[in-house]
Amino acid sequence: MRPPVTHFSDSPDQTEAFAAALAHSLRGGECVALEGELGAGKTQFVRGLLRGLGGNPRHVSSPTFVLLNVYEGGRLRLFHLDAYRVSGPEDFEAIGFSELLEQGGVVVIEWASRVKELLTLPRIDVRIEAVGENRRTIEILRPNGNEEVNLDV
């Protein structure tokens, strides 16, 4: 397996730009597993993904309390889930998570490690870490190792 590719972001706009660049490589059927502390920029990253798919990034909001937001309007439907408040994988199964993976869109999960048993390939692991007030490291890995992730921003 290849090591993760690390990018450095110095602003929310740059974080969005990295995500938008990643979105251009998505074909549908992928699961993007997001990790990072509160305030690291996970939802900002989702805004960039939606922008890169041709949707309106202003529609993105954290699904912490509703569990799932669906964004239409781009070339692929984006399913945005948040596992922060779930008690386990069964909460995701109750909303039909496995069926979401079969819709041909992109499934993005914040706090993905909380439901790791459900995550399938093709998957893209994204870890965002604050390393300063505005600076972030963004590590991107495709665990199946088929494709290197290089984002030109």
pLDDT in tens, the chain (153 residues): 677 889 999 999 999 999 999 999 999 989 999 999 998 999 999 999 999 999 999 899 877 667 789 999 889 999 999 888 887 778 888 878 888 888 889 999 999 998 888 887 788 999 999 998 889 999 999 877 555 555 665
Sign of the Cα torsion 62, 83, 90, 140 reads: positive
**Residue 49 to residue 42: CA distance in whole angstroms:** 11
Paired strand residues for 8 = 137
Residue at 91: amino acid letter = D
Nearest to 29 by CA among 118, 112, 111, 124: 124
Q: What ranges do the domains of the chain cover? A: 5-141
| Architecture of the structural domain at 5-141 | 3-Layer(aba) Sandwich (3.40)
In this prediction the pTM is: 0.88
Nearest to 19 by CA among 47, 49, 43: 49
The pLDDT value given to residue 145: 58
- Decide if 17 contacts 147 (C-beta within 8 A): no
For helices 12-23 and 42-52, the axis angle rounded to 10 degrees is 50
- Decide if 44 contacts 33 (C-beta within 8 A): no
The pLDDT value given to residue 65: 67
